[in-house]
């Protein structure tokens, strides 16, 4: 902006001065000076900014990243809870089987969850296995949180206890939050 203004001034000086040639030289000098000054100021500012950024960078972005990761983790966990809400572990495994296979899960690993032996299905770790199948369909970085959220709600259902409804804030027995809600997914 300053450069443009100074250029205009230089033009005006050239137009109205009786000593046009001299005016032209003065104008050119002014333009040159302003350009150099602006460049100098610019580089000075840049240097200050860079130094400040370098000083701050080890702290601020790291803290921001941690905060962001925590927010993303909580969101993925909530998404996992919602995705598996109202289903049994077996239903979750079967529901997400096709998507998991597309995501690269081997047929055999998927079968461990979708066609579980009695021992596997009765294991307390089965909800986590079903949740892992679901989690493979989510973005890689948030998989662990998504799996944890899903496993949390499946384990709660499996225990036969009451499941907290996030939408209403009320607690509902598993019988009411069971297979009826399958359609929501």
Partner 1 sequence: MKQKFALLTIVGALLALAVPAVSSASMYPAGATFEVGSAGAQPTLGTSIGSCQIKVAGTVPKAPANEATSLLFALTPATSTCSSGASIKFNGEWKLLATNFSFQMAASGGPSNAVEFRSTTLPNCKLAGNYVLGGLFHNGISSPKSMKSAMQPTSSSSLTWADDGGTCAIAGTKETLTYGSGTGIWTVNNLTTPATPIIVAN
State the residues that interact with partner 1 by CB under 8 A. Answer: 100, 104-106, 108-110, 112, 116, 120, 123-126, 128-129, 132, 135-136, 140-141, 143-144, 147-148
* Helix, strand or coil, per DSSP, at residue 163: strand
Residue with smaller CB distance to partner 1, 132 or 163: 132
**Residue 183 CB, nearest distance to partner 1 (Å)?**
26
Distances (CA, A) of 142 to 78, 79, 89, 149, 152: 11, 10, 20, 11, 15
Instruction: Answer for the pair 166, 82: CB distance below 8 angstroms, yes or no.
Output: yes
**Residue 120 CB, nearest distance to partner 1 (Å)?**
5
Name every residue whose Cβ is closer than 8 Å to that of residue 180 and which is 6 or more positions away in sequence: 86
**Residue 147 CB, nearest distance to partner 1 (Å)?**
5
Residue with smaller CB distance to partner 1, 124 or 175: 124
**Residue 145 CB, nearest distance to partner 1 (Å)?**
9
Residue with smaller CB distance to partner 1, 34 or 142: 142
Length of the chain: 185
Residue carrying the six token digits 């333009």: 31
Residue with smaller CB distance to partner 1, 34 or 114: 114
Beta bridge partners of 172: 163
Report d(CA 153, CA 149) in Å as an integer: 7
């Amino acid at each position: 902006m300053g450069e443009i203004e100074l250029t205009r001034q230089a033009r005006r000086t050239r137009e109205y001065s009786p000593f046009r040639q001299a005016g032209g030289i003065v104008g050119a000098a002014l333009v040159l000076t302003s350009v150099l000054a602006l460049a100098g100021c610019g580089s000075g500012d840049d240097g200050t900014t860079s130094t400040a950024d370098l000083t701050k960078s080890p702290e601020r972005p790291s803290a921001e990243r941690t905060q962001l990761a925590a927010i993303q983790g909580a969101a993925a966990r909530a998404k996992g809870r919602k995705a598996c809400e109202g289903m049994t572990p077996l239903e979750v495994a079967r529901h997400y089987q096709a998507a998991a296979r597309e995501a690269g899960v081997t047929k055999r690993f998927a079968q461990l969850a979708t066609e579980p032996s009695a021992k596997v299905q009765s294991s307390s770790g089965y909800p986590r296995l079903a949740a892992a199948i679901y989690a493979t369909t989510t973005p890689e970085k948030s998989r662990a949180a998504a799996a944890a959220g899903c496993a949390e709600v499946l384990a709660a259902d499996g225990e036969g206890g009451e499941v907290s409804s996030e939408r209403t804030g009320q607690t509902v027995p598993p019988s009411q939050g069971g297979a009826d809600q399958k359609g929501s997914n």
